[in-house]
Amino acid sequence: GESFPLAAGERAAFHWQMAKEEPLLRVRPAPGQGGFVPKADEGWSSGFPIDSPGTFIVYCEQGVSAEDDGWWESLLRILVVVRLVNARMEISFALAPPAPPPYRISNQTGFVLTCSQKGVSAARRAHHVRPKSVSPFAWAEGSLEHTLLVTVSWMQTELSNRSKGTQWRSMQLHPLREHHPLNLDAMLQSVAIGTSGNVVAWARVELQGGVRVLTVTEKKEKPEEVVMTTEDEPHTFLAVDLAGIGLSVVHVHLGELVYISAAQLKLDYVLSANSATLELQLHSFQVDNQQASATLPAVLFVKVDPQALLPAVHLSVIKRLR
Protein backbone atom coordinates (compact mmCIF):
# COMPACT_ATOMS: atom_id res chain seq x y z
CA GLY A 1 0.00 0.00 0.00
CA GLU A 2 0.91 3.66 -0.26
CA SER A 3 2.26 5.75 2.62
CA PHE A 4 2.81 9.46 3.19
CA PRO A 5 4.39 11.54 5.99
CA LEU A 6 2.35 13.69 8.36
CA ALA A 7 4.14 16.15 10.64
CA ALA A 8 2.99 16.96 14.18
CA GLY A 9 0.02 19.35 14.04
CA GLU A 10 -0.36 18.90 10.27
CA ARG A 11 -3.67 18.16 8.54
CA ALA A 12 -3.94 16.43 5.17
CA ALA A 13 -6.67 15.10 2.91
CA PHE A 14 -6.72 11.34 2.43
CA HIS A 15 -8.69 9.16 0.02
CA TRP A 16 -8.99 5.38 0.28
CA GLN A 17 -8.23 4.22 -3.25
CA MET A 18 -8.44 0.42 -2.82
CA ALA A 19 -12.20 -0.05 -3.14
CA LYS A 20 -12.03 -3.86 -3.01
CA GLU A 21 -10.00 -3.99 0.20
CA GLU A 22 -11.14 -3.42 3.76
CA PRO A 23 -10.35 0.19 4.80
CA LEU A 24 -7.73 -0.51 7.46
CA LEU A 25 -5.15 2.19 8.10
CA ARG A 26 -1.74 1.72 9.74
CA VAL A 27 0.63 4.28 11.24
CA ARG A 28 4.20 4.43 12.47
CA PRO A 29 6.59 7.18 13.57
CA ALA A 30 8.91 8.53 10.89
CA PRO A 31 12.09 6.39 10.68
CA GLY A 32 14.92 7.62 12.86
CA GLN A 33 12.81 9.21 15.58
CA GLY A 34 13.89 7.87 18.95
CA GLY A 35 16.95 6.23 17.40
CA PHE A 36 15.08 3.34 15.74
CA VAL A 37 15.44 3.03 11.96
CA PRO A 38 12.99 0.32 10.82
CA LYS A 39 12.92 -1.55 7.56
CA ALA A 40 10.11 -0.87 5.10
CA ASP A 41 7.79 -3.43 6.74
CA GLU A 42 8.78 -2.80 10.39
CA GLY A 43 7.36 -0.55 13.08
CA TRP A 44 3.82 -0.35 11.69
CA SER A 45 0.80 -0.51 13.96
CA SER A 46 -2.02 -2.99 13.54
CA GLY A 47 -4.71 -2.00 11.06
CA PHE A 48 -7.71 -0.02 12.34
CA PRO A 49 -10.96 0.74 10.44
CA ILE A 50 -11.58 4.27 9.18
CA ASP A 51 -15.02 3.82 7.60
CA SER A 52 -16.97 4.36 10.85
CA PRO A 53 -16.49 6.40 14.05
CA GLY A 54 -14.46 4.77 16.79
CA THR A 55 -11.58 5.06 19.23
CA PHE A 56 -8.58 2.74 19.17
CA ILE A 57 -5.23 2.34 20.88
CA VAL A 58 -2.56 0.90 18.62
CA TYR A 59 1.14 0.46 19.25
CA CYS A 60 4.29 0.50 17.15
CA GLU A 61 7.35 -1.59 17.92
CA GLN A 62 10.60 0.30 18.38
CA GLY A 63 13.22 -2.32 17.62
CA VAL A 64 12.80 -4.44 20.76
CA SER A 65 11.87 -8.06 20.06
CA ALA A 66 8.70 -9.47 21.64
CA GLU A 67 10.79 -12.11 23.43
CA ASP A 68 13.17 -9.57 25.01
CA ASP A 69 12.76 -7.93 28.41
CA GLY A 70 11.28 -4.45 28.18
CA TRP A 71 9.34 -5.15 24.97
CA TRP A 72 6.00 -3.87 26.27
CA GLU A 73 7.54 -0.75 27.84
CA SER A 74 9.34 0.07 24.57
CA LEU A 75 6.17 0.20 22.47
CA LEU A 76 4.94 3.55 21.17
CA ARG A 77 1.24 3.67 22.07
CA ILE A 78 -0.99 5.84 19.87
CA LEU A 79 -4.58 6.89 20.57
CA VAL A 80 -6.60 7.00 17.34
CA VAL A 81 -9.96 8.79 17.19
CA VAL A 82 -12.16 8.48 14.09
CA ARG A 83 -15.05 10.97 13.98
CA LEU A 84 -17.72 11.96 11.47
CA VAL A 85 -17.32 15.70 10.81
CA ASN A 86 -19.40 17.45 8.13
CA ALA A 87 -19.96 14.31 6.03
CA ARG A 88 -16.30 13.25 6.16
CA MET A 89 -14.32 10.96 8.43
CA GLU A 90 -11.73 12.84 10.47
CA ILE A 91 -8.84 10.85 11.97
CA SER A 92 -6.69 12.26 14.77
CA PHE A 93 -3.65 10.83 16.53
CA ALA A 94 -2.25 11.44 20.01
CA LEU A 95 0.13 9.67 22.36
CA ALA A 96 -1.70 7.24 24.63
CA PRO A 97 -0.78 7.09 28.34
CA PRO A 98 1.20 4.12 29.68
CA ALA A 99 -0.82 1.06 30.64
CA PRO A 100 -0.18 -2.51 31.76
CA PRO A 101 -0.26 -5.19 29.04
CA PRO A 102 -3.72 -6.63 28.30
CA TYR A 103 -2.41 -10.18 28.79
CA ARG A 104 0.41 -12.01 30.53
CA ILE A 105 1.64 -15.51 29.73
CA SER A 106 2.90 -17.40 32.78
CA ASN A 107 4.92 -20.44 31.74
CA GLN A 108 5.20 -22.73 34.76
CA THR A 109 6.41 -25.70 32.74
CA GLY A 110 9.90 -26.88 31.89
CA PHE A 111 9.19 -26.30 28.19
CA VAL A 112 9.53 -23.31 25.87
CA LEU A 113 6.25 -21.77 24.70
CA THR A 114 6.05 -20.08 21.30
CA CYS A 115 2.89 -17.95 21.11
CA SER A 116 1.49 -16.03 18.15
CA GLN A 117 -1.86 -14.73 16.97
CA LYS A 118 -3.78 -16.83 14.47
CA GLY A 119 -3.45 -15.33 11.00
CA VAL A 120 -0.24 -13.44 11.84
CA SER A 121 3.11 -14.75 10.66
CA ALA A 122 5.06 -16.18 13.59
CA ALA A 123 8.23 -14.81 12.01
CA ARG A 124 6.76 -11.31 12.31
CA ARG A 125 5.43 -11.49 15.86
CA ALA A 126 6.17 -14.56 17.99
CA HIS A 127 6.54 -14.55 21.76
CA HIS A 128 9.02 -17.11 23.07
CA VAL A 129 8.29 -17.63 26.75
CA ARG A 130 11.13 -19.37 28.56
CA PRO A 131 10.49 -22.06 31.18
CA LYS A 132 9.44 -20.75 34.60
CA SER A 133 8.98 -17.17 33.35
CA VAL A 134 6.26 -14.59 32.66
CA SER A 135 5.92 -12.55 29.47
CA PRO A 136 3.54 -9.71 28.45
CA PHE A 137 1.35 -10.27 25.41
CA ALA A 138 -0.89 -8.18 23.14
CA TRP A 139 -2.66 -8.96 19.89
CA ALA A 140 -0.58 -8.07 16.85
CA GLU A 141 -3.67 -7.37 14.72
CA GLY A 142 -6.85 -6.10 16.35
CA SER A 143 -8.91 -6.77 13.21
CA LEU A 144 -8.03 -10.49 13.07
CA GLU A 145 -9.41 -13.38 15.09
CA HIS A 146 -8.36 -13.24 18.73
CA THR A 147 -7.07 -16.81 18.93
CA LEU A 148 -3.66 -17.67 20.35
CA LEU A 149 -1.58 -20.41 18.71
CA VAL A 150 0.75 -22.10 21.20
CA THR A 151 3.66 -24.40 20.39
CA VAL A 152 5.15 -26.39 23.27
CA SER A 153 8.79 -27.44 22.74
CA TRP A 154 11.54 -28.99 24.76
CA MET A 155 14.92 -27.32 24.49
CA GLN A 156 18.18 -29.07 23.71
CA THR A 157 21.41 -27.26 24.60
CA GLU A 158 24.83 -28.29 23.35
CA LEU A 159 28.32 -26.96 24.04
CA SER A 160 30.96 -27.25 21.35
CA ASN A 161 34.39 -25.78 20.66
CA ARG A 162 34.36 -23.37 17.72
CA SER A 163 38.07 -22.70 18.10
CA LYS A 164 40.78 -23.33 20.62
CA GLY A 165 39.68 -22.21 24.05
CA THR A 166 36.30 -20.90 22.82
CA GLN A 167 33.05 -22.64 23.64
CA TRP A 168 29.85 -22.05 21.72
CA ARG A 169 26.39 -22.83 23.07
CA SER A 170 23.76 -23.96 20.58
CA MET A 171 20.07 -24.45 21.32
CA GLN A 172 17.46 -26.36 19.39
CA LEU A 173 13.72 -26.48 19.99
CA HIS A 174 11.92 -29.79 19.48
CA PRO A 175 8.13 -29.30 19.29
CA LEU A 176 5.88 -31.56 21.34
CA ARG A 177 2.71 -29.82 20.17
CA GLU A 178 2.53 -27.20 17.42
CA HIS A 179 0.06 -24.33 16.85
CA HIS A 180 -2.50 -25.41 19.43
CA PRO A 181 -5.38 -22.85 19.43
CA LEU A 182 -6.38 -21.22 22.72
CA ASN A 183 -9.23 -18.79 23.38
CA LEU A 184 -8.08 -16.19 25.91
CA ASP A 185 -11.70 -15.20 26.56
CA ALA A 186 -12.44 -18.65 28.03
CA MET A 187 -12.01 -17.66 31.65
CA LEU A 188 -11.36 -20.11 34.49
CA GLN A 189 -11.40 -23.24 32.34
CA SER A 190 -8.60 -25.79 32.28
CA VAL A 191 -7.84 -26.61 28.64
CA ALA A 192 -5.59 -29.44 27.49
CA ILE A 193 -2.77 -28.63 25.08
CA GLY A 194 -2.32 -31.68 22.89
CA THR A 195 -4.52 -34.55 21.85
CA SER A 196 -6.73 -36.76 23.99
CA GLY A 197 -4.04 -39.42 24.05
CA ASN A 198 -1.08 -37.07 24.39
CA VAL A 199 -1.64 -34.03 26.61
CA VAL A 200 1.64 -32.13 27.02
CA ALA A 201 0.39 -29.22 29.14
CA TRP A 202 -2.67 -27.50 30.59
CA ALA A 203 -3.77 -23.88 30.08
CA ARG A 204 -6.01 -21.69 32.21
CA VAL A 205 -6.96 -17.99 31.93
CA GLU A 206 -7.58 -16.01 35.11
CA LEU A 207 -8.01 -12.36 36.02
CA GLN A 208 -5.19 -11.00 38.20
CA GLY A 209 -5.15 -7.31 39.06
CA GLY A 210 -7.22 -6.39 36.02
CA VAL A 211 -4.92 -8.30 33.62
CA ARG A 212 -5.84 -11.60 32.01
CA VAL A 213 -3.14 -14.14 32.78
CA LEU A 214 -2.69 -17.31 30.74
CA THR A 215 -1.04 -19.88 32.99
CA VAL A 216 0.44 -23.01 31.41
CA THR A 217 1.36 -25.94 33.66
CA GLU A 218 2.36 -29.57 33.28
CA LYS A 219 -0.24 -30.80 35.75
CA LYS A 220 -2.41 -33.28 33.92
CA GLU A 221 -5.92 -32.88 35.24
CA LYS A 222 -9.14 -33.34 33.36
CA PRO A 223 -11.39 -30.26 33.19
CA GLU A 224 -14.17 -32.24 34.90
CA GLU A 225 -11.91 -32.91 37.88
CA VAL A 226 -11.09 -29.22 38.20
CA VAL A 227 -14.78 -28.32 38.34
CA MET A 228 -15.48 -30.95 40.99
CA THR A 229 -12.68 -29.75 43.26
CA THR A 230 -13.53 -26.05 42.94
CA GLU A 231 -15.76 -24.83 45.75
CA ASP A 232 -16.97 -21.65 44.10
CA GLU A 233 -16.69 -22.04 40.33
CA PRO A 234 -17.72 -18.83 38.47
CA HIS A 235 -20.57 -19.26 35.99
CA THR A 236 -20.84 -15.74 34.52
CA PHE A 237 -18.11 -13.42 33.25
CA LEU A 238 -18.58 -9.96 31.72
CA ALA A 239 -15.72 -7.88 30.32
CA VAL A 240 -15.85 -4.31 28.99
CA ASP A 241 -12.73 -2.72 27.49
CA LEU A 242 -13.13 0.78 26.02
CA ALA A 243 -10.31 2.94 24.68
CA GLY A 244 -12.41 6.05 25.36
CA ILE A 245 -15.93 7.13 26.23
CA GLY A 246 -17.65 10.51 26.48
CA LEU A 247 -20.92 11.77 27.96
CA SER A 248 -22.43 15.17 27.18
CA VAL A 249 -25.12 16.83 29.33
CA VAL A 250 -27.23 19.18 27.19
CA HIS A 251 -29.98 21.63 28.23
CA VAL A 252 -32.72 22.31 25.71
CA HIS A 253 -32.29 26.10 26.06
CA LEU A 254 -28.75 26.59 27.39
CA GLY A 255 -26.98 24.12 25.12
CA GLU A 256 -24.19 21.84 26.30
CA LEU A 257 -23.53 22.15 30.04
CA VAL A 258 -21.02 19.47 30.98
CA TYR A 259 -18.83 17.04 29.06
CA ILE A 260 -17.47 13.97 30.87
CA SER A 261 -14.71 11.94 29.23
CA ALA A 262 -12.79 8.83 30.29
CA ALA A 263 -9.93 6.96 28.62
CA GLN A 264 -8.99 3.28 28.81
CA LEU A 265 -11.93 2.02 30.82
CA LYS A 266 -11.73 -1.66 31.76
CA LEU A 267 -14.50 -3.42 33.65
CA ASP A 268 -14.58 -7.11 34.61
CA TYR A 269 -17.48 -8.73 36.43
CA VAL A 270 -17.32 -12.32 37.67
CA LEU A 271 -20.34 -14.00 39.26
CA SER A 272 -20.41 -17.34 41.06
CA ALA A 273 -22.85 -19.09 43.35
CA ASN A 274 -21.27 -17.61 46.48
CA SER A 275 -19.68 -14.32 45.42
CA ALA A 276 -19.63 -11.44 42.94
CA THR A 277 -16.38 -9.69 41.94
CA LEU A 278 -16.12 -6.30 40.24
CA GLU A 279 -12.79 -4.98 38.91
CA LEU A 280 -12.67 -1.43 37.49
CA GLN A 281 -9.68 0.36 35.99
CA LEU A 282 -9.58 3.88 34.60
CA HIS A 283 -6.49 5.62 33.25
CA SER A 284 -7.86 9.16 32.91
CA PHE A 285 -11.06 10.97 33.81
CA GLN A 286 -12.12 14.57 33.15
CA VAL A 287 -15.21 16.73 33.72
CA ASP A 288 -15.42 19.97 31.69
CA ASN A 289 -17.76 22.92 32.12
CA GLN A 290 -18.90 23.71 28.56
CA GLN A 291 -20.48 27.07 29.32
CA ALA A 292 -18.90 29.98 27.43
CA SER A 293 -18.75 32.04 30.64
CA ALA A 294 -16.67 29.43 32.51
CA THR A 295 -13.27 30.80 33.58
CA LEU A 296 -11.99 27.36 34.67
CA PRO A 297 -13.56 24.85 32.26
CA ALA A 298 -11.81 21.78 33.74
CA VAL A 299 -13.90 20.97 36.83
CA LEU A 300 -12.23 17.63 37.61
CA PHE A 301 -9.17 16.01 36.06
CA VAL A 302 -7.54 12.71 37.02
CA LYS A 303 -4.69 11.28 34.95
CA VAL A 304 -2.22 8.43 35.35
CA ASP A 305 1.41 9.18 36.20
CA PRO A 306 3.33 9.02 32.86
CA GLN A 307 6.17 7.16 34.61
CA ALA A 308 3.90 4.48 36.10
CA LEU A 309 2.08 1.56 34.54
CA LEU A 310 -0.70 1.64 37.13
CA PRO A 311 -4.14 3.11 36.35
CA ALA A 312 -5.28 6.42 37.83
CA VAL A 313 -8.32 4.71 39.37
CA HIS A 314 -8.42 1.04 40.37
CA LEU A 315 -11.48 -0.31 42.16
CA SER A 316 -11.87 -3.92 43.26
CA VAL A 317 -15.04 -5.07 45.04
CA ILE A 318 -15.85 -8.59 46.26
CA LYS A 319 -19.28 -9.31 47.72
CA ARG A 320 -20.33 -12.53 49.40
CA LEU A 321 -23.77 -13.65 48.23
CA ARG A 322 -24.25 -16.36 50.84
Domain ranges of the chain: 24-95, 103-229, 236-320
Q: Which of 134-148, 183-197, 228-242, 273-287 is predicted most confidently?
A: 134-148
What pLDDT sits at residue 62? 86
**Sign of torsion over alpha carbons 194, 195, 199, 205:** positive
Q: Is the pLDDT reported for residue 167 higher than 70? A: no
Average pLDDT on 78-93 reads 87
Residues 116 and 125: their CA atoms lie apart, in Å, by 6
- With a pLDDT cut of 70, the percent of the chain lying above it is 87
What pLDDT sits at residue 201? 92
Q: Which residues have CB under 8 Å from 105's CB, separation 6+?
A: 113, 115, 127, 129, 134, 135, 136, 137, 213, 214, 216
Average pLDDT on 154-173 reads 67
Confidence of residue 123 (pLDDT cuts 50, 70, 90): low
Q: Radius of gyration of the chain from Cα atoms? A: 23
Average pLDDT on 44-68 reads 84
Residues 207 and 280: their CA atoms lie apart, in Å, by 12
Average per-residue pLDDT for the chain: 80
Q: Is the pLDDT reported for residue 78 higher than 80? A: yes
Confidence of residue 224 (pLDDT cuts 50, 70, 90): very low
Which residue in 217, 152, 214, 220 sits closest to 183, CA to CA? Answer: 214
Q: Give alpha helix (H) positions in the chain.
A: 71-74, 223-229
pLDDT by residue (tens digit) across 170-190? 678 888 999 999 988 777 778
pLDDT by residue (tens digit) across 281-316? 887 788 888 887 877 788 887 776 555 556 778 788
Q: Which residues have CB under 8 Å from 273's CB, separation 6+?
A: 232, 233, 235, 321, 322
What pLDDT sits at residue 270? 81
Amino acid at 222: K
